[in-house]
């Protein structure tokens, strides 16, 4: 569980996050959605400590992240897995070296134990016969799966994904979404995903936080969203005709 309370964040006098409070639950895919520039990335980066917030508190279970010193935060980071756009794979490392990297950095496991863990994680994300290939030799979808394997290799309690479907076709995006959802449920991780992808909202939105101009405008599930009477949310999610049709079909089916 991650709880955020009254988070405020400004850059050069411009307030980007305005009094945001919510809870992100374990075993659920928690989505942050909103227009470009609404503050999603700043929020996610604030939660993991890549930005310092001006006011408010962030709790990892009952641990107050905002009050931790550098050493304690570093320790807590080992419980976090991240699939960030900037944190792409290392080009000069093979697939398995990429996945092994956090184990080499942060654990004293033996070579055999590391290999077993790497094999388990690559198998879990359905990467086969590619252990010795380099990122440039595999597809974008496979690269994402390797990045996910690397993010879970330390068995994290918390998983953060920033636009995990960017640059992927719709079919591959669905595979990635399902994979993240499955892993979240299986390992009871508290997963927070920043996304623009409305398919993700409709398919894996266990909890959805809609940010508008730095404020929490709405929150609910993928089921609630069909009936939400928040105008900004409706305009944002159902701007596209296909999604409006899908919403109407779902509502009809449920009636």
Ligand X SMILES: Nc1ncnc2c1ncn2[C@@H]1O[C@H](COP(=O)(O)OP(=O)(O)OP(=O)(O)O)[C@@H](O)[C@H]1O
By CB under 6 A, name the binding residues for ligand X: 11, 16, 34, 36-42
- Contacts made by residues 171-177, CB under 8 angstroms, sequence distance 24+: 172/139, 172/140, 172/141, 172/144, 173/197, 173/199, 173/200, 174/199, 174/203, 175/141, 176/141, 176/144, 176/145, 176/148, 177/203, 177/204
Q: How far is the CB of 184 from ligand X (least distance, A)?
A: 21
Q: How far is the CB of 32 from ligand X (least distance, A)?
A: 8
- Nearer to ligand X by Cβ, of 22 and 107: the residue is 22
- Nearer to ligand X by Cβ, of 10 and 115: the residue is 10
Residue with tokens 């892993």: 183
Q: How far is the CB of 183 from ligand X (least distance, A)?
A: 23
Greatest C-alpha distance within the chain: 57
Q: How far is the CB of 218 from ligand X (least distance, A)?
A: 15
- Nearer to ligand X by Cβ, of 115 and 166: the residue is 166
Q: How far is the CB of 43 from ligand X (least distance, A)?
A: 7
Other Cβ atoms closer than 10 A to 159: 23
**Nearest Cα residue to 147 out of 106, 183, 201:** 183
- Nearer to ligand X by Cβ, of 48 and 118: the residue is 48
- Nearer to ligand X by Cβ, of 11 and 90: the residue is 11
């Amino acid at each position: 569980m991650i709880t955020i309370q009254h988070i405020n964040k400004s850059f050069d006098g411009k307030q980007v996050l305005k009094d945001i409070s919510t809870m992100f639950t374990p075993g659920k895919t928690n989505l942050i959605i909103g227009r470009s520039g609404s503050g999603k990335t700043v929020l996610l980066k604030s939660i993991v400590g890549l930005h310092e917030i001006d006011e408010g508190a962030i709790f990892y279970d009952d641990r107050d992240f905002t009050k931790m010193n550098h050493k304690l935060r570093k320790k807590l980071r080992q419980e976090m897995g991240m699939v960030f756009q900037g944190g792409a794979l290392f080009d000069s490392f093979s697939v398995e070296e990429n996945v092994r990297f956090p184990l080499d950095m942060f654990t004293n496991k033996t070579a055999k134990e590391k290999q077993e863990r790497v094999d388990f994680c690559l198998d879990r994300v359905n990467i086969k016969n590619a252990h010795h290939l380099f990122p440039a030799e595999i597809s974008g979808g496979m690269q994402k799966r390797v990045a996910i394997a690397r993010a879970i290799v330390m068995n994290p309690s918390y998983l953060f994904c920033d636009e995990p479907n960017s640059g992927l076709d719709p079919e591959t995006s669905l595979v990635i979404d399902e994979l993240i959802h499955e892993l979240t449920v299986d390992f009871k991780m508290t997963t927070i995903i920043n996304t623009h992808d409305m398919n993700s909202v409709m398919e894996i939105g266990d909890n959805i936080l809609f940010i508008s101009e730095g404020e929490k405008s709405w929150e609910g599930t993928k089921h609630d969203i069909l009936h939400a009477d928040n105008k900004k949310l409706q305009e944002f999610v159902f701007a596209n005709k296909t999604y409006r049709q899908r919403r109407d079909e779902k509502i009809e089916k449920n009636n």
